[in-house]
Amino acid sequence: MTFKPLILLKTLASSLVWGTGQFLNKQWLKGLFFFSFFAILIGIEWGTGSYGEPISLYDQMAGNPITVETSKGYVNDYYYNLLDGKYEETRLLEYVAELNGLTYNAELNVFADDSGNPVQPESNQIQFNENDLYTFLAAEMTRIDALEDFSTNGFEPLLEYDSFEAFQATLIGGLGGRDNYTTDDYNKMLVQILFRYDTDLFDRYADLFTNRFHENGGFFVKGVWGVITLGVTPSRTVTEHYDLSFFIPDGFSRRGVELQGNFSQQLLLRGIISNLLLIYFVGIYIWNVRDAYKTSVLIQANQSVRSEKKYFQDVYENAFEYIVLMPALFVITFVSVMPILFGMLVAFTNFDAQHIPPNNLFTWVGFENFRVIFSLSEQGGLPFGSQFFRVFSWTLIWAFASTFTVFFGGFVQAVVLSNKRIVFRKAWRSLLILPWAIPALISQMIFNVMFRDRGWVNSVLERVGVYDRLFEWGMLGRSYQEAGTGLQRLLYFGEDNIQWITNEANPWFVRIFIITLNIWLGFPFFMALMTGVMTSIDRSLYEAAEIDGANGFQQFRFITMPLVLFATSPLLIMTFAQNFNNFGVIYFITQGGPGGDFTTAFAGQTDILISWIYKLTTDANVRWYSMASVFSLLIFLIIGTLSAWNFTRTRAFKEET
């Protein structure tokens, strides 16, 4: 006999407040365990948020807040200045008296309470805060005639005051003499006065800049809100207070007051982090609810329940793998997966040079960026569509050609090295492996220096007379505009020098050059690998072949070649993927050039996708993050699919199944 409602009740209890279901089951330890996670979750949210606190528009502004102390000091200064006869206006003190339920006698210049006892301005009976100060000053503003006609041209209003200076003194008063106020502070003060005076304006700004989620929300709430909205308010600079700038004391100037907006990219990032963290908590939550349910069922059925100590021991034994994996999983989640997720999400936004937060927020645009590319259109005047396919096809050509040349280059060299006639084979091998051993980054930079227009290679070629021949044949000496067409253009080497890496008129020259250069960098790896494979081939195969009358070439053709190619071909896909993303060769040797300005969406003639992405991301003048992310996503799809497919074919993977 089971009381279903009781089971449901306990499950429900756990699903609302974690661990309570376990408490109801009298499993105190377990209940505490789950409850502590609940407490952590709520604690993080509460601790990082500011629930219940009022939101002030002024918190978003540059400049120091005026504190209660300064406001009181202001009253004091004012009081004593009046005593010294510097001011004549007494309205501030009257206002202060009224505010505190006192009276102010202007003739005697004293405060008095109900029973007529004098009160010193410094005393605690007089309270005067920032808010009161601005309310007063704003009220004073309405007393100025023709205020509606304020212009920004330094106009002085008609005043009820004896002189403008007297009013300015009222306004700025004791604050004017304080050294620790900056231009920002005075401008902020003016804005505050203006806002008290013009409450409509204040409301408009307050609506924009006091978002509950953004200001009060904690880690998780703000995170979810951030991912959904990507921020709602860009930064704005308030300039309306310029009308009042004649109140600013000498030595300071008017300046816009910036209202801090939302940073879309930070909201997105925090959002991803908090959502990823939430996933961990959701996992524990599900565990908690399921446990409450299962245990309740067991108790209802009067079956024995494992002791809690035993339970946690079992959990540890079973979860050992997960516990060991935790740290790595944590790091990978937040440092590898998170950035990739971020990049993927940016592909669906318009995060580009025209939308750089906080001045211009970016927002979700769905598949718009993909549409631009696949319909060959432009974005922001940059022809991303057509350029993508140009760069993509060159990337493919590059990846195929460089893999092929390097693979077979290495193969040929391995065959040469394995020839029996060669003495000191190891020494030769060590010499030829140098390009692989020298850090690629360094050799790529060296090539960049060697093959510059006025670099060493060209000076050698000029000295040995190659230049003369080239001039004679017309491959050098013509200007860009006269590079010609067809074959003539393909044989155009440059104007005054051979332009190995800068030949704008003949990009194929540079492309072929760079593929050739890449052989230097890449062949030794395959050479070393293949000589290793060759020495491990069973000698008896060759002996048997010899007995059957096979000559040297036949042995090579039917034993060496198939075995070596078979053993090394799995690496082809890896090498292809590497070359597809071979940033170094392109960036350090040609920097993607020649070409690459806004007419080609900043993609140079030798740019492959990855170096183009780098340019779109890092160049301060470009910053087209959305498109860079779209391309990253496409690379992810291509390379990820390729390597996953390659992997599922390996023995290792099949063994796992």
Residues forming a β-bridge with 110: 105
CB 136 within 8 A of CB 95: yes
Taking CB under 8 A as the binding criterion, the range among 21-29, 284-292, 492-500, 567-575 that sits at the site for other proteins is 567-575
Residue 570 within binding range of other proteins, rule CB under 8 A: yes
Q: Please, which residue, 279 or 434, has the CB nearer to other proteins? A: 434
The footprint of other proteins on residues 490-509 (CB under 8 A) is: none
Contacts 24+ apart (CB under 8 A), 64-68: 64/180, 64/181, 64/182, 64/184, 64/185, 64/188, 65/130, 66/130, 66/133, 66/175, 66/189, 67/130, 68/128, 68/129, 68/130
Nearest-approach distance from CB 624 to other proteins, in angstroms: 11
Q: Does 106 bind other proteins (CB under 8 A)?
A: no
CA nearest 300: which of 25, 14, 18? 25
> With binding defined as CB under 8 A, does residue 447 bind other proteins?
yes
Distance in angstroms (rounded) separating the CA atoms of residues 441 and 111: 80
Residues 138-177 that bind other proteins (CB under 8 A): none
Q: Closest separation between CB of residue 309 and other proteins, Å? A: 17
Number of residues that bind other proteins (CB under 8 A): 96
Residues within window 36-65 making contact with other proteins, judged by CB under 8 A = none
Residue among 251 and 327 whose Cβ is closer to other proteins: 327
68 Cβ neighbours under 8 A, 6+ residues apart: 128, 129, 130
By CB under 8 A, name the one of 36, 50, 123, 266 that touches other proteins.
266
Q: Does 637 bind other proteins (CB under 8 A)?
A: no
Kindly state whether residue 566 participates in binding other proteins, applying the rule CB under 8 A.
no
Of residues 80, 456, 558, 566, which one binds other proteins by CB under 8 A? 456
Q: Which helix (H) or strand (E) element contains residue 360?
A: none
Cα separation, 274 vs 281, in Å, equals 10
Closest CB 439 distance from other proteins, rounded Å: 5
Tell me the closest approach of the beta carbon of residue 93 to other proteins, in angstroms.
47
119 near other proteins (CB under 8 A): no
Minimum CB distance to other proteins, residue 198 (Å): 36
Q: Please give the sequence-ordered ranges of beta strands (E in DSSP) within 239-313, or none if there are none.
A: 257-259
Q: What is the spatial distance between Cα 629 and Cα 342, in angstroms, rounded to a whole number? A: 9
Q: Which is nearer to other proteins, 329 or 376 (CB)?
A: 329
Residue that is written with structure tokens 């007419």 in the block: 599
Residue written as token pair 């990823």:
276
- Provide the token pair at 470: 């080239």
Using CB under 8 A as the binding rule, whether residue 342 contacts other proteins is answered as yes
Q: Which is nearer to other proteins, 107 or 656 (CB)?
A: 656
List 40, 106, 438, 544, residue binding other proteins (CB under 8 A): 438
Q: Which stretch binds other proteins (CB under 8 A): 144-152, 254-262, 280-288, 460-468?
A: 460-468
Annotate 474-492 with b (16+ C-beta within 10 A) or e (fewer).
ebbbbeeeebeeeeeeeeb
List the beta bridge partners of residue 112: 103, 118
- Residues 252, 186: Cα–Cα separation, whole Å: 8
Residues of this chain, 269-288, that bind other proteins according to CB under 8 A: 269-270
Q: What is the closest distance, in whole angstroms, from the C-beta atom of residue 380 to other proteins in the complex? A: 18
Residue pair 402/582 in contact by the 8 Å Cβ criterion: yes
Dist CA 379 CA 371 (whole Å): 10
Cα separation values, 534 from 301, 390, 405, 411, 606, Å:
70, 40, 20, 10, 36
Which 8-state DSSP code applies to residue 379? B
User: What are the distances in angstroms from CA 351 to CA 214, 370, 374, 410, 612?
Assistant: 20, 14, 19, 44, 17
The residue among 437 and 512 lying less far from other proteins, judged by its C-beta, is: 437
Nearest distance from residue 620's CB to other proteins, in Å? 11
Q: Which of residues 300-329 bind other proteins (CB under 8 A)?
A: 320-322, 324-325, 327-328
Of 111 and 526, which CB lies nearer to other proteins in the complex structure?
526
Using CB under 8 A as the binding rule, whether residue 436 contacts other proteins is answered as: yes
Identify the residue among 440, 545, 563, 634 touching other proteins (CB under 8 A).
440
**Which tokens go with 259?**
């209202």
Which residue stretch of 110-118, 455-463, 472-480, 487-495 sits at the interface with other proteins (rule: CB under 8 A)?
A: 455-463
For the chain, what percentages of helix, strand and coil (3-state, to nearest 5) are there?
65, 5, 30
ω into 157 cis (within 30 of 0) = no
Task: Find the shortest distance in angstroms from Cβ 44 to other proteins.
Answer: 16
Query: Binding other proteins by CB under 8 A: which of 1, 547, 620, 652?
Result: 652
Q: Any contact of residue 439 with other proteins (CB under 8 A)?
A: yes
Per CB under 8 A, does 338 bind other proteins? Answer: yes
Among 54, 108, 463, 547, binds other proteins (CB under 8 A): 463
* Interface with other proteins (CB under 8 A), residue from 17, 99, 450, 550: 450
The verdict on 539 binding other proteins (CB under 8 A) reads no
Nearer to other proteins by Cβ, of 6 and 319: the residue is 319
Q: How many other CB atoms are there within 10 angstroms of residue 224's CB atom?
A: 16
Which residues, 6 or more positions from 430, have their beta carbon under 8 angstroms from its beta carbon? none
One residue of 145, 532, 598, 619 binding other proteins per CB under 8 A: 532
Residue 26 CB, shortest distance to other proteins, in Å, is: 30
Report how far residue 641's alpha carbon sits from residue 623's, in angstroms, rounded to the nearest whole number. 28
Name residues contacting other proteins, limited to 366-425 (CB under 8 A). 413, 416, 419, 421-424
Q: What does the per-residue mask of binding to other proteins show for 575-614, with x meaning CB under 8 A?
A: --x---x-x----x---------------------x--xx
Q: Which of 297, 315, 337, 396: binder of other proteins (CB under 8 A)?
A: 337
Nearer to other proteins, 163 or 551 (CB): 551
